[in-house]
Amino acid sequence: MATVTAEARPWLAPTASGPVGGVVRLPGSKSMTARALVLSALAGEPSVIERPLRARDTELMAAGLRALGVGVDTSVDERWVVEPGPLRGPARVDVGLAGTIMRFLPPAAALAEGTVEFDGDPQARNRPLRPIVEALRALGVSIDASPAGGLPLTVRGAGLVEGGEAVIDASASSQFVSGLLLSAPRFTKGLRLRHEGPPVPSAPHLRMTTHMLRAAGAAVDESVPDVWTVEPGALRGRTWVIEPDLSGAAPFFAAAMVTGGSVTLAGWPAESWQPAAAVAELLTALGAEVTQSAEGLTVRGTGSLRGITADLSEVSELTPVVAALAALADGPSELRGVAHIRGHETDRIAALATELGKAGAEVTEFPDGLRIVPGAPRAASFETYADHRMAHAAAVIGLAVPGTALTDVACTSKTLPEFPELWAGLVARS
């Protein structure tokens, strides 16, 4: 399948000349937008998605659903409209490099009548999929995968999925569980899914899935650890209001911390489905002050950036930015519990060890994380590995280290196409 990726755009990261300060307005959460799209596509009535994220991951999700016969009108930036229709193949879905698409859409495609082919960027073929493929097979779905168990994938939709009981090892990605749960209300017998294996990472993303399923009218039980039960039943169309992307905000908060400034994420809701408390705890441990007011969520740098020992399994997608902060901190850090991020957009543990090493840190790799000892910072050319969050990490280093270059900043279009301009705008206010 021909996938179009943005051309590489080398970039010199701007350096802060003093404390950065200001309000940043960011688009909606990638994770919430993805779930809202899938739940709306499977609902009985039309839905509206307010303040969605428009980025490569969510546009490809919308395109994938359209290919399956769903009406997804994304012409108005702040208000996408989803008109569910009978799901049907034949169809081809380009997942790009999005974990959300490669894990959330095959279960939905299994409900379609006809064949649905999935493929994506070359790196997407390295990302784990086998457990969800095997679980779908156990639930009665006919599916062909590559010999390695991943992309390219062909789902032979029979128009229905029997469902019932399945066991999965979701230690490589919480998205295996989320993907199955999101379509489960439409399975004839619903789903009782049990995880067996090392702990499932990214628990807050699982809670986001179950909250959003319930908000769409599904009956979900998660009272037994590592077991999720979804009753069969109709999903309701509704209006989804997407919160600003907290993970996308992380590099901007980091800018406040590195420069001793202050950054407010505008439009932060009083109640959130994203893990604001866990993020606040982590940034506080690193030396920030985090407060919430009517204006938004504010992170203040205190002038001290502390090394930390932390288990990042709940907020693993923040590892690259936290590792960049650790490389600029006043002492060593140990970031653990994130073995599975070797299967993210790139092997993030190896990539961070190499790139932060180039920038002067002394980095030791563990199977599940990194030890980072800050060293004399030096200008380096950061390889970004088609990984938006590696680009964020490099930009954070660049605040403090003049001459930091990125081989490609265009990869930030995965979740925030406006990143280079927003970042330059913020740093210009230093």
Ligand X SMILES: C=C(OP(=O)(O)O)C(=O)O
Residues forming the active site: 317
Q: Indicate which of ligand S3P, ligand X, none lies near residue 51 (CB less than 5 to 8 Å, by partner kind).
A: none
Measure the CA–CA gap between 142 and 156, rounded to whole angstroms.
5
> Which of 178, 210, 264, 413 is the binder for ligand S3P (CB under 6 A)?
178
Touching ligand S3P, residues 80-99 (CB under 6 A): 99
* Sequence-ordered alpha helix ranges (H) in 30-174: 30-41, 56-67, 99-109, 130-138
Nearest approach, Cβ of 364 to ligand X (angstroms)? 23
Strand partners, 240: 49
- Determine if residue 371 is labeled as part of a ligand binding site: no
Quote the tokens at residue 57.
């991951």
Quote the tokens at residue 422.
């927003």
Q: How many CB atoms lie within 10 A of CB 91?
A: 22
Measure the CA–CA gap between 366 and 260, rounded to whole angstroms.
31
Residue nearest to ligand X (CB): 99
DSSP symbols for 26-70: --B-HHHHHHHHHHHHTSSS-EEEES---SHHHHHHHHHHHHTT-
Is 313 a residue that touches ligand S3P (CB under 6 A)?
Answer: no
> Which of 389, 392, 394, 399 is the binder for ligand X (CB under 6 A)?
389
Touching ligand S3P, residues 7-46 (CB under 6 A): 31, 34
Nearer to ligand X, 28 or 99 (CB): 99
Q: Specify the stretch interacting with ligand X by CB under 6 A; choose among 96-104, 149-157, 262-270, 357-365.
A: 96-104
Q: Indicate which of ligand S3P, ligand X, none lies near residue 389 (CB less than 5 to 8 Å, by partner kind).
A: ligand X
For 412, residues 6+ apart whose C-beta sits below 8 A from its C-beta are 388, 391, 392, 419, 420
Is 99 a residue that touches ligand X (CB under 6 A)?
Answer: yes
Nearer to ligand S3P, 192 or 389 (CB): 389
Q: Specify the stretch interacting with ligand X by CB under 6 A; choose among 44-52, 94-102, 135-143, 226-234.
A: 94-102
- Determine if residue 292 is labeled as part of a ligand binding site: no
Q: Specify the stretch interacting with ligand X by CB under 6 A; choose among 44-52, 95-103, 221-229, 286-294.
A: 95-103
Nearest approach, Cβ of 418 to ligand X (angstroms)? 16
Q: Specify the stretch interacting with ligand S3P by CB under 6 A; choose among 170-178, 222-230, 297-305, 369-377.
A: 170-178
Touching ligand S3P, residues 318-347 (CB under 6 A): 340
Torsion 45-48-52-57 (CA) sign:
positive
By three-state DSSP, how is residue 227 classified? strand
- Cβ-based burial of 146 (10 A; exposed 0-12, middle 13-18, buried ≥19): middle
Number of helices (H) and strands (E) in the chain: give both, helices first: 12, 23
- Determine if residue 358 is labeled as part of a ligand binding site: no
Measure the CA–CA gap between 43 and 366, rounded to whole angstroms.
44
> Which of 40, 47, 171, 202 is the binder for ligand S3P (CB under 6 A)?
202
Nearer to ligand S3P, 40 or 100 (CB): 100
For 224, residues 6+ apart whose C-beta sits below 8 A from its C-beta are none
For 269, residues 6+ apart whose C-beta sits below 8 A from its C-beta are 243
Measure the CA–CA gap between 182 and 153, rounded to whole angstroms.
19
Gyration radius of the chain over CA positions: 21
Nearest approach, Cβ of 290 to ligand X (angstroms)? 21
Measure the CA–CA gap between 392 and 209, rounded to whole angstroms.
26
x/- contact string, 273-312, with ligand X (CB under 6 A)? ----------------------------------------
Quote the tokens at residue 96.
């790009």
Distance of CA 7 to the CA centre of its chain: 22
Instruction: Scan for tokens 């940034």, then name that residue.
Output: 283
> Which of 100, 183, 259, 413 is the binder for ligand S3P (CB under 6 A)?
100
CA distances in angstroms from 149 to 100, 119, 125, 129, 154, listed in the order given? 17, 13, 9, 6, 11
Is 248 a residue that touches ligand S3P (CB under 6 A)?
Answer: no
Q: Specify the stretch interacting with ligand S3P by CB under 6 A; choose among 106-114, 149-157, 167-175, 416-424.
A: 167-175
Q: Indicate which of ligand X, ligand S3P, none lies near residue 98 (CB less than 5 to 8 Å, by partner kind).
A: ligand X
Is 98 a residue that touches ligand X (CB under 6 A)?
Answer: yes
Q: Residues binding ligand X: what is the number (CB under 6 A)?
A: 7
Q: Indicate which of ligand X, ligand S3P, none lies near residue 195 (CB less than 5 to 8 Å, by partner kind).
A: none
Site for ligand S3P, rule CB under 6 A: 31, 34, 99-100, 173-175, 178, 201-202, 205, 316-317, 340
Mark the binding-site residues, compressed into ranges.
Answer: 30-31, 35, 99, 127, 173-175, 202, 317, 344, 348, 389, 414
Site for ligand X, rule CB under 6 A: 98-100, 317, 344, 389, 415
Mark the binding-site residues for 3-phosphoshikimate, compressed into ranges.
Answer: 30-31, 35, 173-175, 202, 317, 344
